[in-house]
Amino acid sequence: MSKPSLFIILLGLCLIACTSTKQNSSADENKALHGTYRIALIPKGTTHSYWLAVHAGAEKAAQELGVELIWQGPQKEDDKQGQIQTVQHFTSQSVNAIVLAPIDVHALAPSVASASRQHIPVIIIDSDLDSQDFHSFIATNNKLAGKLCAKRLCELLEGKGKVAMLRYHEGSASAMAREDGFLEGLKEYGPSIELVSSSHYAGVTIEKSVHASLNLLNSCSQLDGIFTPTELTTQGMLQALEMRGKAGQVKFVGFDSNTTLLEALKKDKLHGLAIQDPFKMGYEGVKTAIAILKNQPFEKHIDTGIIIVTKENLNDPMVTELLNTNLNRWLKE
C-alpha cells in the first residue's frame, strides 16, 4: 500500500472517531455546566390522563438515573407551531437530549433535524415522524392495535351490521395508523360488515369531539358498531351516545382509558378499550436518552405493547397492573 493511500485511510478513521465523539463531548460539556444530564420531554399535550402517565414514567427513570427532566408541551394537541417552538427553545438551550411525541408526522421534522445538527439526540415516542434524524422510536404498534379493535368489534357484531369510525385529526401518525389498522381489520374479520362512515374528524378538544360525534350519529340513523381511535374521541363519542340515549345500544370499541371510560366499560356502555402503556413510553424514552449519551447499547425501536380490555378481563392481573399504576408517586407537586 502506498503512503498516500495509508494517510487517506488513517485520516478517514480519525474523522469517523471525531464525529462519533463530538455529540458526547457536547453532552459532557453541558453536563459539566449544569451538574447533571438535562433531558427535555415534549408531549403532544399536557391535559389528558395519558400524558400524565408518560410524565410519571419519565420522572421514574429520571429519579433512578439521577438526571434532570424538563417537562413542557402545548395544552392542545393540534398546536403544531407551539410544539415546534418548544423544540427550538430546548435546542437553543442546549439540553442534552430531547424526548418528543410529535403532534404532526411531517411538521416537526425540520426542528428535529436542527436539534440533530446541534448534536442533541432525539428520541421519538408515541407517534412516528417522517425523518431520519432521530435515534430511537418508542411506541405502541398502532396499526396492530387498530386491527385488534376491529377484531373485537366484529366479534361483538357476529360478522354483520353497520359500523362507523370517528377519526381524530389529520397529521397524527399514531391515530392514522390505528384508523388504517381498523379499516384493514374490518375487511379481514368482518367482510360482510358495512362501513357507513369514516370521514368525520373529532378535533382536539372535548367540545369539538362531542360535536363531531353528534354529527356522525345524526348522519347515520342506524348504527350497530362504532370505533374511536383516541381517548378524546372515545370520551366525546361516549358523551354523544349518552346525550342521544343510545349508550349501550351500539357496540362501541375505543382507545385509551380514564376513570369515566372504565366506568362505562363496567356498565356496558363501552365494549372494549385498547389500552397502551404510556408510563413505559416515558420511562423508556428517558432511559434510552441516557444510554445514547453514555455511549451504551440502546434499542432503535421499542414496542410498548397493547391490551384489548373488556368487562370480562378487567380484573386480570396484567390489566389491573397496567390500569392502576401509581402516578402520584412519581409526579412532582
Question: CB 102: neighbour CB atoms within 10 A?
Answer: 32
Beta bridge partner(s), residue 197: 164
Kindly provide the residue ranges of all beta strands, DSSP E only, lying in the chain, ordered along the sequence. Answer: 38-42, 68-71, 97-100, 122-125, 136-139, 162-165, 194-197, 225-227, 251-255, 272-275, 301-303, 307-309
pLDDT at 221: 84
Query: Cell triple for residue 302?
Result: 421499542
Question: CB 34: neighbour CB atoms within 10 A?
Answer: 13
Backbone angles phi, psi at 21, to 5 degrees: -100, -10
pLDDT at 101: 98
> Which of 134, 136, 133, 126 lies closest to 256 in space, CA to CA?
126
> Which of 294, 129, 126 lies closest to 115 in space, CA to CA?
129
> Which of 258, 309, 303 lies closest to 284 in space, CA to CA?
303
Question: CB 286: neighbour CB atoms within 10 A?
Answer: 27
> Which of 246, 228, 226 lies closest to 236 in space, CA to CA?
228
- Per-residue model confidence as pLDDT tens for the chain (333 residues): 443 443 333 334 333 334 334 444 455 555 545 569 999 999 999 988 899 999 999 999 999 999 999 999 999 999 999 999 999 999 999 899 999 999 999 999 999 999 999 999 999 999 999 999 999 999 999 999 999 999 999 999 999 999 999 999 999 999 999 999 999 999 999 999 999 999 999 999 999 999 999 999 999 989 999 999 999 999 999 999 999 999 999 999 999 999 999 999 999 999 999 999 999 999 999 999 999 999 999 999 999 999 999 999 999 999 999 999 999 999 975
* CA pair distance 134, 169, nearest whole angstrom: 24
Beta bridge partner(s), residue 42: 100
Query: Cell triple for residue 115?
Result: 436539534
pLDDT at 332: 72
Domains located in the chain, CATH noted? 26-140+278-303 (3.40.50.2300), 142-275 (3.40.50.2300)
